[in-house]
């Protein structure tokens, strides 16, 4: 058995389903396999900033019931970059040394940080400055963390969005309406694209593919002409207005996306005389019981992270690639933002299913497919997209 260690674990950034399953996996593996002690740190780095540091020792029996539960029982925060921490008087101060001191006060040998690319970048900076032995685990419903094919929370969010779309088909058909479903995802359209395909949406709009309202109207009219008088449109929250404006909710210091569904509803009903309704899924996509896939991923990531500590492999992040868990330097893992590839498999799949992505190319492909007489240039585009 490896030398006894005392490790810490924290969740940072927005919550999502599957975080508790990671904490459980880390705790079980560290205690049952290695005989170590595990401390759960409250509210991300805020717990290490507090005096005394806010952390609880975790036990196997205590964490087991959390396997399925959404959220994070350790608490988390999206506020307060420790290198420019907002104080009550409005000033920003560097509190990084307090966090580093908190880690050492707890007598930790290593720290597992579960976060998105922003949180992991901050944790890595702290680790390098303060000699923290850090291992990262990627989580975010947006699924936009660099190298990993999957992040914790994404699958549950897609399941929730898909179920909502499934439900909306019936009411949309009953009233001959265009139902617009606004989903989260920040600047990446992964949730919209995945849930839209899984839920049989007719229109999917993502930030990575510019759209024209006339193309969407054309698609709705075409469906009506084909005898389908309702449509389901899924739109990602960071899709812009046709003129390129980003729609934000309220006047807050941080950017809170939301409202593109309402914009589309108003524009489409004005332009095509269809009745529209909007459903904004919001934070429902982060809650509830985590999907089996997220629990499996969380368990695999948690065990792999503990194994990395056992091998003294620090400054690394676990990732999912080629049907297995691997690890890469955190810096490599977060250096590239992972948006939807407009030439990728799922975009091709959506086009192949006749789903309108709001762009001219999609409609041309669709028309060409229907008339079965694609011009040479277009035929090439169909093959290469």
Beta strands, E only, the chain: 6-11, 37-41, 55-58, 85-86, 92-93, 110-115, 134-138, 178-183, 203-205, 231-236, 276-280, 316-321, 324-329
Q: Is residue 357 a contact residue for ligand F6P (CB under 6 A)?
A: no
Burial 115-151 (b: 16+ CB within 10 A, else e): bbbbbbbbbbebbeebebbbbbbbbbbbbbbbbbebb
Q: Is residue 77 a contact residue for ligand F6P (CB under 6 A)?
A: no
Q: Is residue 261 a contact residue for ligand F6P (CB under 6 A)?
A: no
**Residue 255 beta carbon to ligand F6P: minimum distance, rounded to whole angstroms:** 8
Stretch that binds ligand F6P, among 47-55, 87-95, 166-174, 183-191 (CB under 6 A): 183-191
Q: Can you tell me which of 8, 14, 70, 261 binds ligand F6P, judged by CB under 6 A?
A: 14
Stretch that binds ligand F6P, among 37-45, 138-146, 167-175, 362-370 (CB under 6 A): 138-146
| Chain center to CA of 222 | 33
Q: Can you tell me which of 12, 45, 119, 140 binds ligand F6P, judged by CB under 6 A?
A: 140
Q: Can you tell me which of 64, 256, 332, 360 binds ligand F6P, judged by CB under 6 A?
A: 256
3-state DSSP call for residue 89?
coil
Q: Is residue 335 a contact residue for ligand F6P (CB under 6 A)?
A: no
C-beta of 237 vs 359, nearer to ligand F6P: 237
Rounded to a whole number of angstroms, the distance between the first and last alpha carbons of the chain is 53
Return the bridge partners of 325, or none: 320
Pairing of strands 6-11, 37-41: parallel
322 carries an active-site annotation: no
3-state DSSP call for residue 276?
strand
- What is the CB-side half-sphere exposure of residue 26 using CA atoms within 13 A? 34
| Interface pattern 88-127 for ligand F6P (x via CB under 6 A) | ----------------------------------------
Per CB under 6 A, residues contacting ligand F6P are: 14, 78, 140-142, 184-186, 237, 256-257, 286
Active site residues: 142
């Amino acid at each position: 058995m490896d030398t006894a260690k005392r490790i810490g674990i924290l969740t940072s950034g927005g919550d999502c389903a599957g975080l508790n399953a990671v904490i459980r996996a880390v705790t079980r593996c560290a205690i049952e396999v290695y005989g170590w002690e595990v401390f759960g740190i409250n509210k991300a780095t805020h717990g290490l900033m507090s005096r005394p540091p806010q952390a609880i020792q975790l036990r196997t029996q205590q964490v087991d019931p959390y396997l399925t539960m959404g959220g994070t029982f350790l608490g988390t925060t999206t506020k307060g970059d420790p290198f420019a921490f907002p104080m009550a008087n409005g000033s920003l101060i560097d509190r990084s040394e307090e966090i580093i001191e908190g880690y050492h006060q707890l007598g930790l040998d290593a720290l597992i940080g579960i976060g998105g690319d922003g949180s992991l970048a901050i944790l890595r900076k702290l680790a390098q400055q303060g000699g923290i032995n850090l291992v990262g685990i990627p989580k975010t419903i947006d699924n936009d963390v660099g190298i990993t094919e999957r992040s914790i929370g994404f699958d549950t969010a897609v399941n929730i969005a898909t179920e909502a779309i499934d439900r909306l088909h019936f009411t949309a058909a009953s009233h001959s309406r265009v139902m617009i479903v606004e989903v989260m995802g920040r600047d990446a359209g992964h949730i919209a694209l995945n849930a839209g395909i899984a839920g049989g949406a007719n229109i999917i709009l993502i930030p990575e593919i510019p759209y024209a309202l006339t193309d969407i109207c054309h698609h709705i009219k075409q469906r009506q002409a084909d005898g389908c008088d309702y449509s389901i449109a899924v739109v990602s929250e960071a899709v812009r207005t046709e003129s390129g404006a980003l729609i934000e909710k309220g006047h807050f210091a941080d950017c809170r996306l939301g409202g593109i569904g309402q914009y589309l509803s108003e524009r489409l009903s004005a332009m095509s005389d269809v009745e529209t309704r909007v459903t904004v899924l919001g934070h429902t996509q982060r809650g509830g019981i985590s999907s089996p896939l997220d629990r499996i991923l969380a368990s695999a990531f948690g065990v792999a992270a503990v194994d990395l500590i056992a091998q003294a492999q620090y400054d690394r992040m676990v990732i999912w690639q080629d049907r297995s868990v691997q690890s890469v330097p955190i810096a490599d893992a977060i250096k590239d933002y992972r948006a939807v590839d407009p030439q990728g498999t799922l975009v091709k799949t959506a086009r192949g299913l006749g789903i309108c992505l709001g762009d001219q190319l999609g409609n041309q492909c669709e028309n060409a497919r229907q008339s079965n007489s694609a011009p040479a240039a277009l035929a090439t585009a169909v093959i290469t997209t």
